[in-house]
Amino acid sequence: MEFGPHLVLALLEGSITAAVLALTAAGLALVFGILRVVNVAHGEFFMLGAVLAWFVSTTLADTFGAGPAVGFVAALIIAPLATALVAILADRLVLRRIGYDPERTIVATIGLLYVLQQATLMSFGPEARPVEAPFNTRIALPWPERVNGEWVLGYPWGFGTTSYKLFVIGAAVVVLIGLWLLLRHTTLGLIMRATEQDRDMARAFGIPVTRVYALVFGLGAALAALGAVLVVPIQQAHYLMGGDPLLLSFIVVIIGGLGSVGGTVVAAVLIGLTDGVVSVFFSATLAKIIATLLVAMVLVFRPQGLFGRALSR
């Protein structure tokens, strides 16, 4: 395949990464924006989503003989909900008790990371397990070629995508628009934004802040889990799969500006696309090194990222 189609393919793959990343990172940004805490276990909520999706679809297939489409839809609903419940439980038991103190929260969520990860290892096992996509037709993509001195549209071999991959991108866009609508145009969203602006003031207005916190923490986890459910037919579920999304979400949220969901989405697109392109053409490790250093430097020299508020307290 020539460079042109190769690049476009890389961009397509990058778009999928960006889509899933946008969802995951939006969850992290929401939690930081409203609770003002960094959840180091966020990647594990992602992993939980994938693992639960496998569990749901496999159980439905084995016990009820359901097809992959039914299994997938069920997973799409159940996995994020269940993950949200786990998150809310963690919030009640731990985070609330330590008063959302930033330092103690980091330590506690590191502990939560290990608990979730290792509990999954113990129950799910160390292997990677696939989940079947609900639909997966190949779509060949056209590319302009010069034939006999004229430009025609050809279909280079290997240059294509699948319907499912396009669906992932579309689904992510839909969910993000839904999130935006929720935040901007509903009462719940208003309550969330009020709590973000001024916790004490919100309390004075009768807003049940602790309940909002629990809800937001659950929502953040659900978004990550949802992203994982979408990507698991492409990737496979594995108990260690939370590490990369965590790092990438961090990068996205920091560059986009912690607390700014809009900035997060823009940064996710940037980083997802870059990651896609760079890993196709260069060593993945080198790409990660550069990305990691970039995050550190952004924090050091431009702490508010591209759009958001400064991370320092």
Partner 1 sequence: MNDARGWLLHLGLLAALVLAWFVLPAYHTGNLARILVLAVYAAGFNVVFGYTGLLSLGHALFFAAGLYGLGLSIQHVGLGVLPAFGVALGVSALIAAMTGYLALRTRGVAFMIVTLMFAQTGYLTVLYAGRWTRGDEGFVIARSARTLFGLDLADERIRYFAALVLFAIVFLSLAAIVSSGFGRALVAIRENEERARLLGYDVQRIKWLAVILSGTVSGAAGAAYALLFGYAGATFASVQYSILPLLWVLLGGAGTTIGPLIGTVFMFYLVDFASEITDAYLLLVGLALICLTLFLPRGIAGELRRRALPWLP
Shortest reach from residue 119's CB to partner 1, in Å:
6
Q: Is 296 in the site for partner 1 (CB under 8 A)?
A: yes
Shortest reach from residue 253's CB to partner 1, in Å:
10
Q: Is 313 in the site for partner 1 (CB under 8 A)?
A: yes
Shortest reach from residue 97's CB to partner 1, in Å:
6
At CA 199, angle to CA 194 and CA 203, rounded to 5?
Answer: 90
Q: Is 107 in the site for partner 1 (CB under 8 A)?
A: yes
Q: Is 254 in the site for partner 1 (CB under 8 A)?
A: yes
Whether the CB-CB separation of 272 and 48 falls below 8 Å is answered with: no
Piece of the chain touching partner 1 by CB under 8 A; list 148-156, 166-174, 214-222, 288-296: 288-296
Cα distances (angstroms) measured from residue 11 to each of 8, 213, 263, 294: 5, 37, 20, 21
Q: Is 312 in the site for partner 1 (CB under 8 A)?
A: yes
At CA 266, angle to CA 179 and CA 263, rounded to 5?
Answer: 70
Whether the CB-CB separation of 143 and 4 falls below 8 Å is answered with: yes
Piece of the chain touching partner 1 by CB under 8 A; list 49-57, 93-101, 171-179, 218-226: 93-101
Residue number, 140 or 297, with CB nearest to partner 1: 297
DSSP code of residue 238: -
Report the alpha-carbon distance of residue 294 to residue 236 in Å, rounded: 29
Residues in the chain: 313
Among 23, 35, 112, 273, binds partner 1 (CB under 8 A): 112
Piece of the chain touching partner 1 by CB under 8 A; list 22-30, 60-68, 146-154, 298-306: 298-306
Shortest reach from residue 30's CB to partner 1, in Å:
16
Q: Is 113 in the site for partner 1 (CB under 8 A)?
A: yes
DSSP helix/strand/coil, 300: helix
Q: Which helix (H) or strand (E) holds 228?
A: helix 209-235
Q: Is 174 in the site for partner 1 (CB under 8 A)?
A: no
At CA 17, angle to CA 24 and CA 284, rounded to 5?
Answer: 115
Amino acid of residue 102: P
Cα Rg for the chain, rounded, in angstroms?
A: 20
* Residue numbers 210-249 binding partner 1 by CB under 8 A: 247
DSSP code of residue 178: H
* Residue numbers 38-57 binding partner 1 by CB under 8 A: 38
Q: Is 121 in the site for partner 1 (CB under 8 A)?
A: yes
Q: Is 129 in the site for partner 1 (CB under 8 A)?
A: no
Among 2, 67, 103, 188, binds partner 1 (CB under 8 A): 103
Identify the CA nearest to 20 among candidates 294, 229, 260, 292. 229
Amino acid of residue 53: A
| Residues near 290 by beta carbon (within 8 Å), at least 6 away in sequence | none
Among 1, 77, 89, 122, binds partner 1 (CB under 8 A): 122
- Binding residues for partner 1, rule CB under 8 A, total 43
Using CB under 8 A, list all residues that contact partner 1: 38, 94, 97-98, 102-104, 106-108, 110-119, 121-122, 247, 250, 254, 283, 285-286, 288-289, 292-293, 295-297, 299-301, 303, 310-313
